[in-house]
Amino acid sequence: MGNGKKLNQIIIKILKKNGLNTNHATICSKALINAELVGAHSHGLSRLKMYCDRIQKKVINPKPKIKIKKISQSISRIDANNSIGFVAADIGIKQAIKNAKKTGIGLVGIKNSGHYGLSGYYAEQAVKKNLIVFCFTNAPPAIAPHGAKKSLFGTNPICFGTPTSSKVPFILDTSVSVINRGKIRVAARNGKKIPEGVALDKFGKPTTDAKKALAGVQLPIAGFRGSGLAWMVDILSGVFTGGNHGGKVKDPFDDFSGPQNIGHLFFVMKPNLFVGNYSERIKENIKRIKRLPKIKGVKEILYPGQSKQRRYKKNLNKKINIPANIAEDLKKLNA
pLDDT exceeds 50 at position 121: yes
**At residue 200, what are phi and psi to the nearest 5 degrees?**
-120, 155
3-state secondary structure of 272: coil
Looking at residue 252, what is its pLDDT?
95
Alpha helices by DSSP H, listed for 112-200, are 119-128, 181-189
For the stretch 197-211, what's the b/e string if a residue is b when 16 or more beta carbons lie within 10 angstroms of its beta carbon?
ebbbbeeeeebeebb
Confidence of residue 2 (pLDDT cuts 50, 70, 90): low
Tell me how far the alpha carbon of residue 71 is from its chain's centroid.
Answer: 26
pLDDT, tens only, 77-108: 999 999 999 999 999 999 999 999 999 999 99
- How far apart CA 295 and CA 7 sit, in angstroms, is 42
Tell me how far the alpha carbon of residue 222 is from its chain's centroid.
Answer: 21
